[in-house]
Structure 1
Amino acid sequence: MTLSNSSNDFTPADVVVGSTSDTLADNFVNVPDGTPRFASESYDDIGWTIGANYRINENFTTYLSIADSFRLPGFEDYIFGGPATNPTTGEVARGDQVENIKQVEGGLRYADSVNSVSLTAFYIDFAAKENLGPTLDDLSATGNGIACTAIPAPANCPKVRDVFRRSLDNIGIELEASYSPEALEGLTLQGSIVWQDPQLSQDNEIRNGIVEVDTNGDGVFDERQYDVSTTEGRRPRRQSELLVNFRPSYDFESIPLSIYSQFMYYSERFATDDSTNVTVYPAYYQMNLGGIYEFSEQMDLQIHIANLNDADSFTEGSPILSGLSFSNGDYTGVARPLLGRTIKASLTYRF
């Protein structure tokens, strides 16, 4: 069962719109209309994988893997991007909900008693499910772009809604290595470097909104036009091009104690992959530190310090839009910050 897609503004009457007391939490509240809408659907697809591994000699191995797989829709697809009702006809609209994934991966590995090195190249072709754009006034039928909220409203006030499908192509290289020196038994140095170039494509542009336009430069908005958008050639949101992960650790011989540290680097990312108002999240590095002490085979104590250097950045969020501004002109956005320095201790007992 799906509920109504309509939303309501429940901003309290004593709150000034755009003030610091005005929050997004009460601006868009979905309220079910009480009418049940039932759905019964089935999906199927076929996936396959083929791979080969060849040992060149005692230390070198090469491999190649090719896969064609899929992802069937889940419950979250119905909540965040599932069916929608055409406000003009009442017809339930839904695109292709099966996502297709093609992957190619191959590389070369070297290993001996001290070293381990792996160089991998990969390619991913991901076709997401079809999505529906926002429901907009049909400007070609409302008479010179008159708004449906005008009085008197255009007859029947027809609507339009675009269907589109996004795809992702990603090519990259990963270098992973591990070193355990014989001169210092217990020490292990391992890490990885990943470079990738993910890019989005879109099968067609969509009408993403309606903007007021001053056609003759007299300072008066005299026409409404579609804001057309596409993500063609853009990098996906929250995806870095360069990632570094270095993880040294040391196991003591005389006592049952292991200590470790971690250095992670993420190059800059975009908050969103929309075609306008792109917000850049800065590159950052983060250091972690910890240790594990084994009291016995059944019980151990771990202390972990995350973000030891107290790095500042964001992990995800929205772009800064003109509509997200206070009355004093300051902009506000919604983002999830990287947590500051945290210390966690855990005691594990295995029965």
Structure 2
Amino acid sequence: MGLNNIVVDDMDDKISNEEHLYIGIDAGMFKTSVCTSDGKRFSERSVVALSRSDGGSEGTVLLGREALDLKDGDIREPLAGGLKSEEDVMALRKFLEALLAENGIDLNRNVYAIVGVPSDSDKEYKKKVMELSRELFSGAMLVDEIFCAAYKKGLLGGSIIVDMGLDKTDICIINSEVPQDTDHLSIPCAGKDIDREIVKLIKERWPASQVTEEVAREWKEKYGHLGPVSDNCTVEVPLEDGNVQGSIADELEIACEFVITDIVSGITRILSDVDPDMRESLRNNIHIFGGTSGLTNIGTFIENELKELGGGKVRSDIDSVYGISEGALELAKNMPPEFWKQLVAGKQDEELII
């Protein structure tokens, strides 16, 4: 279904006469972010747990860090496994309901949502997210998350968008339309691989190291870099029998380069498949975002690696936390009123996934 293929009917203007709220949601494996038409922006780690420590029969839903710190609860990361089970779907529902309620979103009013979904999501995943969204909101639609980010930044005229996530990196050519399968490349190299490599390298240097991937992620987010940096990246490394202080600048650089080089190979691969007439404009219009895009000198590193193709221009101008949810919100607000009217009337039979 395309953005321009929405059927218009002759209903009375129900939506414009009622109080309503538009929201954009980026339900990511690591973090979920939400933007609303009344100016709210919030995000949370995509983790949920139920605690009964307060003695209540229903228990308390905990999100993010509070859920991770729970000692005896059923801690779930529902999006990490691709919603393979009904338990994951229920966990996602609890997560979204609690997250929205905590931030003052009343689901009893008319709420119209666009949810960004990964470009390579399978039909079953999209079906489950769509069914859940329809239960929660007055109207909902799923849109390719990279298209959402490009829409917000006005990058639909011809660009390459690189979303460097936790578990994978999505590389997508955006050229006016919602991207098709041939415009998209997903590679299993991302932030988690850098974290694991940091743990491995530190273990090689300090065999008694007790560094976890969670700690490595915090160091990467604070000190991660490619090429020389002025900061010596000194940290306290936990060992079996105490801590040792030392610089991990070399380990961070090696780990980051190890993964980013593979991501550059993916960019090169998708460029090699496009029409030569488009190649130059695309390689000079590369936009990176996602958690891993914050590494120091990452843009310069990628540009240097692309010199074999004649060079390239890399920009980090998409908000890594809210870029997708902001774009989804803009789409929701800009959809024709007739589209949302059809949802209110229950007359929209097409699969609302684009």
Bigger Rg, structure 1 or 2: 1
TM-score by length of 2: 0.23
Identify the structure with the greater helix proportion: 2
Identify the structure with the greater strand proportion: 1
Relative contact order (C-alpha < 8 Å, sep 6+): which is higher?
A: 2
